[in-house]
Structure 1
Amino acid sequence: MATMKDIAKLAGVSTSTVSHVINKTRFVSEEISERVNSAAKELNYYAPSALARSLKVKRTRTIGMLVTTSTNPFFGEVVKGVERSCYQQNYNLILCNTEGDNQRMKASIDTLLQKRVDGLLLMCSTLEGESIAGLERCPDIPIVVMDWGPMSFACDKIQDNSYRGGYMAAKHLIESGHKDIGCITGPLSKHQAEYRFNGFKTALLENDIPLNQNWIIESDFECKGGYESFTKLQERGALPSAIFVCNDMMAMGVINAANEAGIRIPEDLSIIGYDDIHIAQYMTPALTTIHQPKYRLGQAAVNTLLQRLEKEIVEPTVVQLEPTLMTRKSVKIL
């Protein structure tokens, strides 16, 4: 039976190079990879199965990720960053959709642990702060939580600076000349929504602009929630000149409702969103928004998990990514 040493001799490379090509553990040029694979084929070499290798090194080179279902493309853009980073690091990704259901999440965790994943990425804000059944059985498995609040178990965390983002959104409206400013928040029981709203309030306070409670609506981060929130604002009487809508999906709903009511954006009402999802730049008008580095959030989560696996970090760590302002066409300068 042929060995890697035989392949190395026939291909004119080192045994370690053969190992990297066959096991895909390091980049090797296309020309050398072709020579190695041709030699392996000529010698009828059969690579050991991934399962056999994983039993030997106690690694499956597989990461599990749990994500909440949402119509918001924000999640898909984060997953893209995770998937690409896994590919570049020669890791496999198993993606589980929790549908926002606690029981389904627990069942997914059991499945991933049975698959012997090397680590877990959690992006399920519906379970913010909860103790998750199943994880206590594997205290040594590294976990990275992505963009939600404090957890009841030890883990690393990747997050957007939501307070800073909310502050920047309000500051931009103020610097554009607006003083009558409203806010449609996400669910304030969630840390992201709370921090964005707190940043918004700080900017108003610093500029001596009163917070009008009639112009504050708590919503749900979904398009329909934005649509219904704008309807509620209209029912309360006179509208503000500008609204900070705490994510782009709700902003889409607001713009739709305003259009149906004959209210022009930005001529009659200015809107600033949050997230900078890909379609924000193609809305009418193109949406001014706070950019969350979604792709980098996914990359940072994978890199942190791999650092934990290699014991390059020991204590629980928080990686915070900073938002930026994307100025487009939905805010009028007064």
Structure 2
Amino acid sequence: MATMKDIAKLAGVSTSTVSHVINQSRYVSEEISERVNRAAQVLNYSPSALARSLKMNRTKTLGMLLTTSDNPFYGEVVKGVERCCYQKGYNLILCNTEGDNQRMKASIHTLLQKRVDGMILMCSSLEGERIDEFEKYPDVPVVVMDWGPMLFASDKIQDNSLQGGYMAVKYLIDCGHKKIGCITGPLNRHQAQMRYEGFKRAMRESDLLLNSDWIVESNFECDGGYQAFNQMYGKGELPSALFVCNDMMAIGVLNAAYEKGLKVPDDFSIIGYDDIHMAQYMTPPLTTIHQPKYRLGQAAVETLLAKLEQTEQDHQVVQLEPTLVTRASVQSMN
């Protein structure tokens, strides 16, 4: 493999001149630069990414930890992360944690050992975790996405789930619904709790009854929505409308309703949350709260890179606002 010394010999210049041309670290005349570049091409020289990263103290690589899920929401966020990394000239190492705490910590250790410049964490097992590994690498910025209070220093990117939950139920109320139920996500998770709080706030503002038979906690997955609806159905009268706290559970609800011969929105209305790509192709197309998933991923990368440039800046929370997307799954009662 050719070295800078070989290029210097062929081009008739010093090794330091070759280094300045290749790394663009100092002005070199156009004539000498052309000689060096021609020699490098003849020798098929390829600069070592490792050597350059050691010299610059940057690897131009970011790490991302993700809890594996069937929910396409996560894939749409990762797409935003990957696209932004590419546009900014960074590589991305993606690790799945499978929801396993030990695997998560092992992956964090591996990424830090590989000298990533920054790290994005989107792991459901993170909330309330103290990760001592980060204290050994204080110069590596960390961005946490979509989760609640952390016991380590980080920037945070999240959607305004309280406002999103409120908007969803306010829309049902504005459509004339008074008997409204809610299928929540796991209430030990911050975003699920906030969406449920938004539901309760909208109901209280309109002096509407919170019927415990119409409130079921579930798991943010299709099977959870399916089981939660069956549980609610088994208790007797259904509400006229349901706020289902993510679109994946809404798919499960639609399937359970179909099995029972119920039609949406004729027999009851439903509104979801996330606006995953397939929401518009459900039967009926799902009214839902849109999370800016691509923008969440993009904001995570931009926040990390800003931190690399200004290491002294305080940790910040970037909160992106949800929007309502109306389709055909909610019937107007007015």
Q: Same fold (TM over 0.5)?
A: yes
Distance 1:288 1:40, change over 3 A: farther
1:331 matched residue in structure 2:
330
The CA distance in 2 between the partners of 1:90 and 1:130, in whole Å, is 32
1:67-106 alignment to 2 at 5 Å? 67-106=66-105
The CA distance in 1 between the partners of 2:247 and 2:102, in whole Å, is 29
The CA distance in 2 between the partners of 1:61 and 1:40, in whole Å, is 27
Query: Does structure 2 conserve the Cα–Cα contact (< 8 Å) formed by 1:59 and 1:118?
Result: yes
The CA distance in 2 between the partners of 1:126 and 1:332, in whole Å, is 38
1:281 matched residue in structure 2:
280
Q: SS at the partner of 2:58?
A: coil
Q: SS at the partner of 1:125?
A: coil
1:231 Cα deviation from its structure 2 partner: 0.4
Amino acid of the structure 1 residue aligned with 2:193: E
1:162 matched residue in structure 2:
161
1:5-24 alignment to 2 at 5 Å? none
2:248 matched residue in structure 1:
249
* Structure 2 runs not aligned, ≥5 long: 1-5, 12-19, 25-33
The CA distance in 2 between the partners of 1:274 and 1:139, in whole Å, is 36
1:181 matched residue in structure 2:
180
Coordinate RMSD, CA, aligned: 2.0
After superposition, the C-alpha distances for 1:145-203 in whole angstroms (9 at most, x for unaligned) are 00100100111000000000000000110111100000000011111011001011111
1:2 Cα deviation from its structure 2 partner: 3.7
Distance 1:323 1:138, change over 3 A: same
The CA distance in 2 between the partners of 1:285 and 1:193, in whole Å, is 25
Amino acid of the structure 2 residue aligned with 1:75: Y
* Structure 1 runs not aligned, ≥5 long: 7-14, 21-34
The CA distance in 2 between the partners of 1:231 and 1:127, in whole Å, is 31
Amino acid of the structure 2 residue aligned with 1:290: I
1:37-186 alignment to 2 at 5 Å? 39=38, 42-44=41-43, 46-186=45-185
1:110 Cα deviation from its structure 2 partner: 1.2
2:306 matched residue in structure 1:
307
The CA distance in 1 between the partners of 2:133 and 2:207, in whole Å, is 50
After superposition, the C-alpha distances for 1:39-81 in whole angstroms (9 at most, x for unaligned) are 5764435132100100101000110100001110111100000
1:135 Cα deviation from its structure 2 partner: 2.1
Query: Does structure 2 conserve the Cα–Cα contact (< 8 Å) formed by 1:146 and 1:158?
Result: yes
1:193 matched residue in structure 2:
192
The CA distance in 1 between the partners of 2:87 and 2:39, in whole Å, is 24
Amino acid of the structure 1 residue aligned with 2:318: V
2:234 matched residue in structure 1:
235
Q: SS at the partner of 2:125?
A: helix
Amino acid of the structure 2 residue aligned with 1:247: N
The CA distance in 2 between the partners of 1:235 and 1:148, in whole Å, is 33
Query: Does structure 2 conserve the Cα–Cα contact (< 8 Å) formed by 1:106 and 1:133?
Result: no
Q: SS at the partner of 1:96?
A: strand
Deviates more, 1:38-47 or 1:200-209: 38-47
Query: Does structure 2 conserve the Cα–Cα contact (< 8 Å) formed by 1:62 and 1:118?
Result: yes
Query: Does structure 2 conserve the Cα–Cα contact (< 8 Å) formed by 1:2 and 1:43?
Result: no
Amino acid of the structure 2 residue aligned with 1:113: L
The CA distance in 2 between the partners of 1:302 and 1:313, in whole Å, is 18
After superposition, the C-alpha distances for 1:80-117 in whole angstroms (9 at most, x for unaligned) are 00000000011010000000000101111111111110
Amino acid of the structure 1 residue aligned with 2:228: S
Distance 1:110 1:42, change over 3 A: closer
Amino acid of the structure 1 residue aligned with 2:103: R
The CA distance in 2 between the partners of 1:127 and 1:308, in whole Å, is 21
After superposition, the C-alpha distances for 1:257-306 in whole angstroms (9 at most, x for unaligned) are 00000110011110000000011001111000000000000000000000
The CA distance in 2 between the partners of 1:71 and 1:129, in whole Å, is 24
1:12 matched residue in structure 2:
none
Distance 1:95 1:42, change over 3 A: closer
TM score, norm. by length of structure 1: 0.88
After superposition, the C-alpha distances for 1:301-333 in whole angstroms (9 at most, x for unaligned) are 000000000117610100000000010010011
Amino acid of the structure 1 residue aligned with 2:127: E
Instruction: Report sequence identity in percent.
Output: 67
1:31 matched residue in structure 2:
none
Give the aligned length: 309
The CA distance in 1 between the partners of 2:261 and 2:44, in whole Å, is 71
Q: SS at the partner of 1:126?
A: coil
Distance 1:198 1:120, change over 3 A: same
The CA distance in 2 between the partners of 1:56 and 1:261, in whole Å, is 66
Distance 1:325 1:97, change over 3 A: same
Amino acid of the structure 2 residue aligned with 1:280: A
Amino acid of the structure 1 residue aligned with 2:203: L
Query: Does structure 1 conserve the Cα–Cα contact (< 8 Å) formed by 2:126 and 2:150?
Result: no
Amino acid of the structure 2 residue aligned with 1:216: I
The CA distance in 2 between the partners of 1:176 and 1:39, in whole Å, is 71
Query: Does structure 2 conserve the Cα–Cα contact (< 8 Å) formed by 1:2 and 1:45?
Result: no
